[in-house]
């Protein structure tokens, strides 16, 4: 219950407030959003937002059990009921064998999400493999990525199946990691004489509800972030989005309004989201290649985008990057995310 105080005490950080934030996979992005609110409200001039995760265990069931707590644990069947509801909603069968034991239950959620998209919009397993291959290209240039080997579409399709239509490289890996971001007020930035400043234009946190057919938690968070920042999706230079599975990235294109409903497959077919394309997505390699150390992921996205806006990303640099969006979701309520944070950052000249 006092992880932050324990971890930071050895660094000499005491006396000042330390707040522990738990919000499933959106934990450190939520901490970041709360830190932004504190600075904006004038409560503090300097706030540290950090996330860390020790998720790997030799007994994979222990790691998978951690994911199973990101749902309503008062429900006797917990995450399995989430999957059953999704199965009924899209009219696709659910194979319970191995769910939460040999694989994370969230891979079953992503499997059904993928099959729903395939049925509605004509996406294919090949499209999902193209997402992983693209992110492996980005991750091959990221020294922080958990996996740095370059994969072809054929490599991804030939890999071991986790749950149809997902092969192993289409699923974000379990990993340990940490990331931290320091936010300062405008007054403090001037006092410190900071250069290459990056401004938080907006940061929206949305909680899950019983969404209707054309509603999504990510879509609402994106709308709030765009409106607060006074920009639209066409203004973006690059995006880090929550690709916990390859199909999740294609769905993310659509509810972040990088394209219209059902048009996500066109973005991946035309290399629009690859470095050099119209709107590069997951230049870090994304969760699929950089890894998904749950508590650290949100802040890690902010680090990647801050470096992009500062021109510090080396071979992964997006030319002329000026405006960036981070999308990080966590947990499951009903048939959608329990929490989602969308943040928009801009380069200050």
What's the pLDDT score for residue 118? Answer: 96
What's the pLDDT score for residue 52? Answer: 95
Contact 47, 53 (CB under 8 A): no
Dist. CA 168–CA 144, nearest whole Å: 20
What's the pLDDT score for residue 40? Answer: 97
What's the pLDDT score for residue 311? Answer: 97
**292: Cα separation from own chain's centroid:** 8
pLDDT along the chain (349 residues), means of 10: 93 94 96 98 97 90 82 77 82 76 82 94 98 98 97 98 96 94 97 95 96 91 98 98 97 97 98 98 98 96 98 97 98 90 95
What's the pLDDT score for residue 61? Answer: 81
What's the pLDDT score for residue 348? Answer: 92
The encoded tokens of residue 163 equal 């749950």
| E-strand stretches of 128-276 | 161-163, 166-167, 177-184, 198-207, 238-240
Q: By three-state DSSP, how is residue 341 classified? A: strand
Dist. CA 14–CA 201, nearest whole Å: 30
Q: Which residue in 193, 189, 188, 147 sits closest to 170, CA to CA?
A: 147
Active site amino acids:
25, 292
What's the pLDDT score for residue 101? Answer: 67
CA distances to 44, 135, 140, 272, 318 from 315, in Å? 36, 14, 10, 18, 9
Topology adopted by domain 3-347:
Peroxisomal Thiolase; Chain A, domain 1 (3.40.47)
The partner residues of 293 in beta bridges, in order of sequence, read none
The encoded tokens of residue 323 equal 């405006």
What's the pLDDT score for residue 64? Answer: 80
- Is the pTM value of this prediction over 0.85? yes
What's the pLDDT score for residue 115? Answer: 94
What's the pLDDT score for residue 70? Answer: 85
Dist. CA 69–CA 297, nearest whole Å: 18
């Amino acid at each position: 219950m006092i992880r932050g105080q324990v971890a930071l005490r050895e660094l000499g950080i005491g006396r000042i407030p330390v707040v522990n934030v738990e919000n499933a996979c959106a934990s450190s992005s939520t901490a970041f959003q709360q830190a932004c609110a504190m600075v904006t409200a004038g409560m503090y001039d300097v706030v540290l937002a950090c996330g860390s995760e020790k998720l790997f265990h030799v007994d994979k069931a222990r790691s998978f059990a951690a994911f199973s707590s990101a749902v309503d644990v008062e429900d006797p069947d917990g995450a399995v009921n989430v999957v059953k509801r999704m199965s009924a909603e899209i009219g696709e069968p659910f194979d319970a064998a191995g769910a939460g034991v040999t694989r994370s239950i969230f891979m079953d959620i992503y499997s059904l999400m993928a099959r729903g998209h395939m049925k509605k919009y004509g996406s294919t397993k090949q499209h999902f493999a193209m997402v992983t291959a693209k992110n492996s290209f980005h991750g091959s240039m990221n020294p922080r990525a958990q996996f740095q080997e370059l994969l072809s579409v054929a490599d991804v399709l030939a890999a071991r199946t986790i749950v149809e239509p997902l092969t192993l490289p289409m699923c974000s890996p379990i990993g340990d990691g940490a990331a931290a971001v320091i936010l300062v007020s405008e007054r403090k930035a001037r006092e410190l004489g900071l250069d290459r400043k990056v401004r938080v234009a907006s940061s929206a946190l949305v909680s899950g509800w019983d969404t209707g057919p054309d509603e999504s938690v990510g879509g609402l968070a994106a709308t709030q972030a765009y409106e607060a920042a006074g920009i639209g999706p066409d203004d973006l230079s690059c995006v880090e989005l929550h690709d916990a599975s390859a199909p999740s990235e294609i769905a993310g294109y659509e509810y972040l309004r990088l394209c219209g409903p059902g048009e996500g497959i066109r973005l991946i077919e035309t290399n629009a989201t690859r470095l050099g394309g119209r709107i590069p997505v997951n230049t870090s390699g994304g969760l699929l290649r950089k890894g998904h150390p749950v508590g650290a992921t949100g802040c890690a996205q902010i680090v990647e985008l801050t470096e992009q806006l500062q021109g510090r990303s080396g071979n992964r640099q997006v030319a002329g990057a000026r405006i960036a969006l981070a999308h990080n979701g966590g947990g499951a309520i009903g048939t959608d995310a329990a929490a989602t944070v969308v943040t928009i950052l801009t380069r200050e000249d």
